[in-house]
Amino acid sequence: MEFTAKQLAQALKGTVEGDPQAKITSFAKIEHGKPGQLCFYANPKYEKYVYTCKASILLVNKDFVPKQNVTPTLIRVEDAYKSLADLLKYAATQKRTDRRHRGFRSSWFLTTKFGKKVYLGSHSYVGHHAEVGDYTKIYENVYVGDNTKIGSHCIIYPGVVIYPGMIIGNNVIIHSNAVIGSDGFGNAPLPDGTWEKIEHLGNVIIGDNVEIGACTTIDRSEMESTIIGNGVKIDNLCQIAHNVQIGENTAIAAQCGIAGSTKIGKNCILAGQVGIVGHLEIADNTTLGAQCGVIGNIKKPGQVFLGSPSLPIKSYLRSYAIFKRQGEE
């Protein structure tokens, strides 16, 4: 897959500002853009990255006026978010065209690498060019997609679905009916009030010594990776959205939901039913009490929060004392 700025501008009905022959072969978030990649800018919150981005091409709205010099070639379009959705859809279509789903065949084991003493249960499928490490157990009715890598000493319980291209470390436990790598909930609004699906071409990377509870879902990213750090423990029935990053040794209790592109630090504790909105940063060693609703960044490490919207514990207890008395009057 390779595109020039001129080709993309023609396809997206945009205009080129810079080198029309600038080429890209992949996509990235604006804060991570490198040469050979395409990024997009639509949310004003990310404007600071426009001026540090090293990507070859940057999609922007046609009315965007930069305040500093910009390195990438710009493609100006009516709606950068919508245009990215169109572009990802085209790239996904090309990718699907290249896949070969022929079911079980005699050459299957020639393209799939199994380590020593791997257990593969009945009715489980491991895709082409996948890798499974030593002593890993894959129980019955598991689906492992093409090009997925699973480390050593893992346990994949019955009913787990692992989409193509996922990366799973060593000593990982995934409980029944968890789904790793489903599309994120990304949709671009259209003028007529309908929504257009944004294709997700990224993956999920799970570190070593991670445990993932039953019926938990971890969505793949649009362009890069959803990342679960080493030692993370996730309970049952949790939702981890696209582009989320969870730091090492963080523990997440049942029914938590983390919206897209949020970064959670190391050694955090999320009690049951915590909800975190998207695009936030949560500092290391943060504790969020049950049913916390987090709507803003938490920058200071080591704090404890309660309530919805969440407040530092001392502020919450003072507030609770006031509204408890009011309810008794």
CA distances (Å), origin 231, targets 155, 228, 247, 250:
15, 9, 9, 7
From residue 65, alpha-carbon distances to 34, 41, 43, 44 in Å are 22, 12, 14, 12
Alpha-carbon dihedral angle through residues 104, 109, 111, 116, given to the nearest 10 degrees:
140
Region for 147 from its dihedrals, namely left if φ exceeds 0, alpha if ψ lies in -120 to 50, beta otherwise:
left
Given the residues 129, 200, 242, 279, the one annotated as active site = 242
Gyration radius from the chain CA atoms: 22
**Catalytic site residue 242?**
yes
Distance CA 234, CA 216 (A): 8
174 close to 137: Cβ distance less than 8 angstroms: no
DSSP state for residue 261 in the 8-state scheme: T
Rounded CA-CA distance 31/55 in Å is 10
Do β-strands 195-197 and 161-162 pair in parallel, antiparallel, or remain unpaired?
Answer: unpaired
The DSSP H or E segment spanning 15 is strand 15-17
Residues serving a catalytic function are: 242
